[in-house]
Protein backbone atom coordinates (compact mmCIF):
# COMPACT_ATOMS: atom_id res chain seq x y z
CA UNK A 1 0.00 0.00 0.00
CA UNK A 2 1.26 3.44 -0.85
CA UNK A 3 2.56 5.33 2.16
CA UNK A 4 0.53 8.49 1.64
CA UNK A 5 -2.78 6.67 1.86
CA UNK A 6 -1.84 5.33 5.29
CA UNK A 7 -0.76 8.76 6.50
CA UNK A 8 -3.85 10.52 5.18
CA UNK A 9 -6.36 8.12 6.71
CA UNK A 10 -4.47 8.10 10.01
CA UNK A 11 -4.22 11.88 10.41
CA UNK A 12 -7.12 13.57 8.65
CA UNK A 13 -9.61 12.68 11.35
CA UNK A 14 -7.68 14.70 13.92
CA UNK A 15 -6.16 17.41 11.73
CA UNK A 16 -9.13 18.24 9.51
CA UNK A 17 -9.06 20.45 6.43
CA UNK A 18 -7.32 23.80 6.13
CA UNK A 19 -8.82 26.56 3.99
CA UNK A 20 -8.53 30.31 3.60
CA UNK A 21 -12.34 30.70 3.87
CA UNK A 22 -12.54 33.83 1.71
CA UNK A 23 -15.45 33.36 -0.68
CA UNK A 24 -15.25 34.94 -4.13
CA UNK A 25 -18.24 35.84 -6.32
CA UNK A 26 -17.59 36.33 -10.04
CA UNK A 27 -21.11 36.98 -11.30
CA UNK A 28 -22.44 36.01 -14.72
CA UNK A 29 -20.82 35.81 -18.17
CA UNK A 30 -21.86 34.63 -21.62
CA UNK A 31 -20.49 31.89 -23.87
CA UNK A 32 -21.36 31.03 -27.46
CA UNK A 33 -24.50 29.00 -26.65
CA UNK A 34 -24.69 29.15 -22.83
CA UNK A 35 -24.65 31.63 -19.96
CA UNK A 36 -22.47 30.97 -16.90
CA UNK A 37 -24.60 32.16 -13.96
CA UNK A 38 -23.60 33.01 -10.37
CA UNK A 39 -20.03 31.74 -10.67
CA UNK A 40 -18.66 31.51 -7.13
CA UNK A 41 -15.74 30.01 -5.27
CA UNK A 42 -16.13 28.99 -1.64
CA UNK A 43 -12.56 29.84 -0.59
CA UNK A 44 -11.38 32.00 -3.48
CA UNK A 45 -8.61 29.61 -4.57
CA UNK A 46 -9.72 28.79 -8.14
CA UNK A 47 -9.11 32.36 -9.28
CA UNK A 48 -11.22 34.59 -11.49
CA UNK A 49 -12.77 32.93 -14.58
CA UNK A 50 -12.07 33.83 -18.19
CA UNK A 51 -14.43 33.25 -21.11
CA UNK A 52 -13.51 33.97 -24.73
CA UNK A 53 -15.88 35.23 -27.43
CA UNK A 54 -17.41 32.46 -29.51
CA UNK A 55 -16.46 29.73 -27.02
CA UNK A 56 -18.40 27.62 -24.52
CA UNK A 57 -15.33 27.14 -22.30
CA UNK A 58 -14.73 28.82 -18.97
CA UNK A 59 -11.13 28.88 -17.67
CA UNK A 60 -9.83 29.37 -14.16
CA UNK A 61 -6.20 30.25 -13.47
CA UNK A 62 -5.44 29.73 -9.76
CA UNK A 63 -2.65 31.74 -8.18
CA UNK A 64 -2.75 30.43 -4.61
CA UNK A 65 -4.37 26.97 -4.73
CA UNK A 66 -1.63 24.86 -3.19
CA UNK A 67 -0.73 22.67 -0.22
CA UNK A 68 2.86 23.02 0.90
CA UNK A 69 4.88 21.51 3.74
CA UNK A 70 8.23 23.35 3.95
CA UNK A 71 11.24 22.41 6.07
CA UNK A 72 10.04 24.42 9.04
CA UNK A 73 7.23 22.84 11.08
CA UNK A 74 4.40 24.67 9.26
CA UNK A 75 2.41 21.45 8.73
CA UNK A 76 0.96 20.14 11.97
CA UNK A 77 1.86 16.49 12.15
CA UNK A 78 3.63 16.80 8.80
CA UNK A 79 0.43 16.94 6.70
CA UNK A 80 -1.60 19.76 5.17
CA UNK A 81 -4.87 19.54 3.23
CA UNK A 82 -6.35 22.41 1.21
CA UNK A 83 -9.94 22.18 -0.05
CA UNK A 84 -12.15 24.44 -2.16
CA UNK A 85 -15.49 24.21 -3.99
CA UNK A 86 -16.48 25.95 -7.22
CA UNK A 87 -20.17 26.45 -8.06
CA UNK A 88 -21.60 27.39 -11.47
CA UNK A 89 -25.11 27.35 -12.96
CA UNK A 90 -25.12 26.82 -16.74
CA UNK A 91 -28.12 27.99 -18.76
CA UNK A 92 -28.29 27.14 -22.46
CA UNK A 93 -29.43 29.75 -24.93
CA UNK A 94 -32.82 29.31 -26.67
CA UNK A 95 -32.58 26.68 -29.39
CA UNK A 96 -29.69 24.83 -27.74
CA UNK A 97 -29.22 22.08 -25.18
CA UNK A 98 -26.27 20.93 -23.08
CA UNK A 99 -25.11 17.60 -24.45
CA UNK A 100 -21.88 17.07 -22.53
CA UNK A 101 -19.64 18.71 -19.91
CA UNK A 102 -15.87 18.35 -20.28
CA UNK A 103 -13.66 18.97 -17.24
CA UNK A 104 -9.89 19.34 -17.36
CA UNK A 105 -7.40 20.46 -14.73
CA UNK A 106 -3.67 20.31 -14.14
CA UNK A 107 -0.93 21.23 -11.73
CA UNK A 108 2.54 20.39 -10.52
CA UNK A 109 4.28 18.74 -7.58
CA UNK A 110 7.65 19.23 -5.92
CA UNK A 111 9.20 16.65 -3.55
CA UNK A 112 12.56 17.43 -1.95
CA UNK A 113 14.78 16.18 0.88
CA UNK A 114 18.44 16.45 1.88
CA UNK A 115 18.42 13.41 4.15
CA UNK A 116 16.19 10.93 2.32
CA UNK A 117 13.07 11.74 4.37
CA UNK A 118 9.72 10.89 2.81
CA UNK A 119 7.63 13.50 1.00
CA UNK A 120 4.26 12.92 -0.71
CA UNK A 121 1.26 14.67 -2.24
CA UNK A 122 -2.21 13.79 -3.51
CA UNK A 123 -5.02 15.42 -5.47
CA UNK A 124 -8.71 14.60 -5.71
CA UNK A 125 -11.85 16.16 -7.18
CA UNK A 126 -15.53 15.27 -6.97
CA UNK A 127 -18.10 16.74 -9.36
CA UNK A 128 -21.76 17.12 -8.37
CA UNK A 129 -24.21 17.71 -11.23
CA UNK A 130 -27.82 18.86 -10.77
CA UNK A 131 -30.08 19.10 -13.84
CA UNK A 132 -33.02 21.46 -13.22
CA UNK A 133 -34.44 21.96 -16.71
CA UNK A 134 -34.96 19.90 -19.88
CA UNK A 135 -35.87 21.51 -23.22
CA UNK A 136 -36.64 24.73 -21.36
CA UNK A 137 -39.09 23.10 -18.93
CA UNK A 138 -38.36 22.84 -15.19
CA UNK A 139 -38.12 19.30 -13.79
CA UNK A 140 -37.52 17.71 -10.40
CA UNK A 141 -33.77 17.91 -10.25
CA UNK A 142 -31.71 14.98 -11.51
CA UNK A 143 -28.46 14.38 -9.60
CA UNK A 144 -25.23 12.87 -10.86
CA UNK A 145 -21.83 12.57 -9.15
CA UNK A 146 -18.46 11.75 -10.69
CA UNK A 147 -14.79 11.67 -9.75
CA UNK A 148 -12.22 13.46 -11.86
CA UNK A 149 -9.79 10.91 -13.35
CA UNK A 150 -6.06 11.70 -12.96
CA UNK A 151 -3.05 10.37 -14.82
CA UNK A 152 -1.41 10.22 -11.38
CA UNK A 153 -3.28 11.39 -8.29
CA UNK A 154 -0.46 10.83 -5.80
CA UNK A 155 3.31 11.24 -5.83
CA UNK A 156 5.69 9.81 -3.22
CA UNK A 157 9.44 10.14 -2.87
CA UNK A 158 9.69 6.38 -2.22
CA UNK A 159 8.04 5.67 -5.61
CA UNK A 160 8.59 8.57 -8.03
CA UNK A 161 11.72 9.92 -6.33
CA UNK A 162 12.55 13.52 -5.47
CA UNK A 163 11.94 16.19 -8.10
CA UNK A 164 9.18 18.12 -9.89
CA UNK A 165 6.23 16.45 -11.62
CA UNK A 166 3.16 17.44 -13.63
CA UNK A 167 -0.30 16.01 -13.01
CA UNK A 168 -3.43 16.18 -15.17
CA UNK A 169 -7.04 15.21 -14.62
CA UNK A 170 -10.21 15.18 -16.64
CA UNK A 171 -13.60 13.64 -17.33
CA UNK A 172 -16.42 13.93 -19.89
CA UNK A 173 -19.95 13.77 -18.47
CA UNK A 174 -22.69 12.84 -20.96
CA UNK A 175 -25.82 14.62 -19.74
CA UNK A 176 -28.02 12.88 -22.31
CA UNK A 177 -27.01 9.57 -20.76
CA UNK A 178 -27.71 10.91 -17.26
CA UNK A 179 -31.21 11.92 -18.34
CA UNK A 180 -31.80 8.63 -20.16
CA UNK A 181 -30.82 6.69 -17.03
CA UNK A 182 -33.47 8.70 -15.16
CA UNK A 183 -36.06 7.84 -17.82
CA UNK A 184 -36.18 11.35 -19.28
CA UNK A 185 -35.81 12.24 -22.95
CA UNK A 186 -34.69 15.62 -24.24
CA UNK A 187 -31.77 17.95 -23.70
CA UNK A 188 -30.61 19.50 -20.42
CA UNK A 189 -30.96 23.28 -20.58
CA UNK A 190 -30.17 24.35 -17.00
CA UNK A 191 -27.48 22.61 -14.96
CA UNK A 192 -25.66 23.43 -11.73
CA UNK A 193 -22.11 22.19 -11.23
CA UNK A 194 -20.30 21.92 -7.90
CA UNK A 195 -16.65 20.88 -8.14
CA UNK A 196 -14.89 20.05 -4.87
CA UNK A 197 -11.07 19.99 -5.18
CA UNK A 198 -8.64 18.74 -2.53
CA UNK A 199 -4.84 19.01 -2.45
CA UNK A 200 -2.78 17.24 0.25
CA UNK A 201 0.93 17.50 1.07
CA UNK A 202 2.94 15.41 3.56
CA UNK A 203 6.56 15.85 4.57
CA UNK A 204 8.55 14.09 7.26
CA UNK A 205 11.20 16.03 9.18
CA UNK A 206 13.94 17.05 6.75
CA UNK A 207 11.72 16.95 3.63
CA UNK A 208 9.50 19.36 1.72
CA UNK A 209 6.36 18.69 -0.33
CA UNK A 210 4.25 21.00 -2.45
CA UNK A 211 1.29 20.41 -4.77
CA UNK A 212 -0.32 23.25 -6.73
CA UNK A 213 -2.93 23.80 -9.40
CA UNK A 214 -1.22 25.49 -12.36
CA UNK A 215 -1.50 29.26 -12.76
CA UNK A 216 -2.56 28.94 -16.42
CA UNK A 217 -5.78 27.03 -17.21
CA UNK A 218 -5.65 25.27 -13.86
CA UNK A 219 -9.26 24.27 -14.50
CA UNK A 220 -11.36 24.39 -17.66
CA UNK A 221 -15.02 23.46 -18.09
CA UNK A 222 -16.33 23.11 -21.64
CA UNK A 223 -19.95 22.73 -22.69
CA UNK A 224 -20.64 20.58 -25.75
CA UNK A 225 -23.89 22.03 -27.12
CA UNK A 226 -26.54 20.34 -29.21
CA UNK A 227 -29.47 21.85 -31.14
CA UNK A 228 -32.62 21.93 -29.05
CA UNK A 229 -35.82 20.15 -30.09
CA UNK A 230 -37.40 23.34 -31.43
CA UNK A 231 -34.35 24.10 -33.55
CA UNK A 232 -34.24 20.57 -34.91
CA UNK A 233 -37.91 20.80 -35.85
CA UNK A 234 -37.22 24.10 -37.56
CA UNK A 235 -34.35 22.59 -39.51
CA UNK A 236 -36.63 19.70 -40.49
CA UNK A 237 -39.27 22.09 -41.80
CA UNK A 238 -36.62 23.96 -43.76
CA UNK A 239 -35.50 20.66 -45.25
CA UNK A 240 -39.05 19.72 -46.23
CA UNK A 241 -39.59 23.12 -47.81
CA UNK A 242 -36.40 22.70 -49.80
CA UNK A 243 -37.49 19.27 -51.03
CA UNK A 244 -40.91 20.61 -52.06
CA UNK A 245 -39.27 23.48 -53.98
CA UNK A 246 -37.02 21.00 -55.75
CA UNK A 247 -39.98 18.84 -56.74
CA UNK A 248 -41.93 21.88 -57.89
CA UNK A 249 -39.02 23.04 -60.06
CA UNK A 250 -38.83 19.56 -61.62
Please report, rounded to a whole number, the percentage of residues in the chain having pLDDT higher than 90: 72
What pLDDT, on the 0 to 100 scale, is given for residue 71? Answer: 76
Q: pLDDT per residue over 121-174, tens digit each?
A: 999 999 999 999 999 999 999 999 999 999 999 999 999 999 999 999 999 999
Please answer whether residues 211 and 107 qualify as being in contact, where contact means their C-beta atoms are separated by less than 8 angstroms: yes
Map out the domains of the chain as residue ranges: 3-249
Return the DSSP state at 142: E
Q: What is the pLDDT of residue 1?
A: 41
Residue 2: per-residue pLDDT: 52
Burial 133-167 (b: 16+ CB within 10 A, else e): bbbbeebeebebebebebeebbbbbeebeeeeeeb
Residues in a beta bridge with 238: none
Q: Is the pLDDT of residue 242 over 50?
A: no
Task: Among 29-38, 65-74, 183-192, 235-244, name the one with the lowest average pLDDT.
Answer: 235-244
**pTM exceeding 0.75:** yes
Say whether pLDDT at 115 is over 70: yes
Amino acid sequence: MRFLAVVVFALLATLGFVSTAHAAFYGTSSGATVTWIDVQDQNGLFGAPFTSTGSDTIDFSPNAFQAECPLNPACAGGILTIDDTLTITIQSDPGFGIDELVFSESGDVSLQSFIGAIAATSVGATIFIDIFEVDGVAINQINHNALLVFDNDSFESFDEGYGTYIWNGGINIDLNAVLANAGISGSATRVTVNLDNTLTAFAASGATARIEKKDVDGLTITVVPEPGTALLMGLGLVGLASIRRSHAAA
